[in-house]
Structure formats: C-alpha cells, structure tokens
Amino acid sequence: MGLLILFIIAGLLLLICSVLAIVHAAISPARDGMGRALAHDLPTSPGDLGCTFESWTCRTRDGLDLPAWDVQGVTGGPTLLWLHDHGGSRLSDLRDLQDWLSWCGRVILVDLRGHGDAPGTCMLGARETGDVDRLLECIGNEEVILGGRGFGAVLALDASSRSTKSLPVWGIAPYQSVRARFDEEMRGRGIPGWPLRVLAMTVLRLTGRRPLEPCNDVQADRVRIADVDEPIPASPWWDASVSGDESSS
C-alpha cells in the first residue's frame, strides 16, 4: 500500500510539473532575438536590408514600452502594422519586409509583450488587444492596414473587428481555435493533449490570461487569410481593380 501511495504522489507531482511547464512555455516563450539571427546569418534589423528606419517605443496602458521599427517605404502608400506570431519577434518576418515596402508608405514591426526585446510576459491576448489599440493610436490618423502571422494574425483580425474604421487585414495562418493551437503545439513537443491541455488552460484563465479566440466578425472583402506559402501581395488586395494573381514573392 505504501508503494502505491508513493506512485500516486509521484504521478501527481509529474502532472503538476507538466502543467506548469506548459503554462510557462505559453506565457514566457523562448525569446526570438539577435542571438538566433546571428547564429543563422539572418538580418538583425531593417538596416541590414538597406532600409531606412527609425526606432521608437509605444507605452501600453499598463506601462510597458514595446519596441518598434518604423521602416520607410514609398510615398503615399498605406502604413502596415505587422504583428508577429507567438514565440516570434519583429525579427521573424524581416524576410518579407522589402515586398511590403514596394507599395506601403511605412511598415511598422513591433515586439509584442513577452517577446523579443519587449518587457513583461505574454498574456495570450488578454492584454495584447489593448496593446494593438495603443499602437494604432501611436501611428496616428493615417491609412492603416494590419498584418500578422499566427497569433499576430488573430490579433489583427480582432482589432479590425472592433475598429470604427475600415482596417484591411492580411492574416497568415491564424489558428482556428485556442484548443487547436494548444493541441498542435503539444503534439509538436510530444506531449499528450488530455488532460494537460485542459488543466493548463484552466490555470491560464485563473491567472487572468484567457487565450484570445479567433474573430470571424470582419469585412470579408478587406480581409485575406493567407497560407504560409502564399506570396506577399504586390498591391492592395481589397482593390477590385487588382486581379488576384498580381502578387510577388
């Protein structure tokens, strides 16, 4: 009987440690920073691509300063606010920067809270939605389009659905649901989904980090959900005069 009790205690401890590890990975993902870029011979700033840019920070409503790169594009083009995926950073999508700059007036790349060089921990959308609102305020009264990948695409769709303005969105592979995203991440790490996913999501909700579900209440004619391999558009995709095959990689 004593041995059985020890096995039960060990199992419970293993379960608790596994849940806490999942929660930690969700709110404190590995930082995608300059070290990784240098190790893989990737650009470490827009300047490495020959682009003219400025650096500034946007203060969130709870006092965090999110670092941003403001990259100069063509005269008269719209401003693109780009939001990276969970576990990414403003470095992650530099490979697409020059394609956007061919027709955008500005491209703003930002580190979301708990990512890259930004302070804090990831709130899984609970506060990032307000952070995106603050970024839009920092940009000012300009023609703005939103773009993002994965988690960033979900944030972009959410911001567009809540905005009183018409905000076009280019969303690359937004997750279909929080459950699907968790299951995908856990399968990739070889972790069983049940009951760990349920327990981890419960802990996240209890700590005020309710993951953001994708929003479908957006103007379909101004929103494009793209696959990961789809080329970056060569012009505004919501312009009826532009054919669907006019894009560049």
Other C-beta atoms lying within 10 Å of the C-beta of residue 147 = 26
- pLDDT tens digits for range 171-205: 999 999 999 999 988 888 888 888 999 999 999 99
Q: What pLDDT score was predicted for residue 248?
A: 39
Question: Residues 119-178: pLDDT tens digits?
Answer: 999 999 999 999 999 999 999 999 999 999 999 999 999 999 999 888 999 999 999 999
Name which residue leads in pLDDT, 110 or 37: 110
Supply the DSSP string of 228-243, one letter for each residue.
TTSPPBSS-TT-TTS-
Range 27-47 average pLDDT: 91
- If one counts every other C-beta atom within 10 angstroms of the C-beta of residue 153, the result is 25
When pLDDT is cut at 50, 70 and 90, the band that residue 219 belongs to is: low
- Residue 120: per-residue pLDDT: 97
Burial class (CB in 10 A: 0-12, 13-18, 19+), 150: buried
In the chain the domains, ranked by start, together with CATH numbers, are 31-174+214-226 (3.40.50.1820)
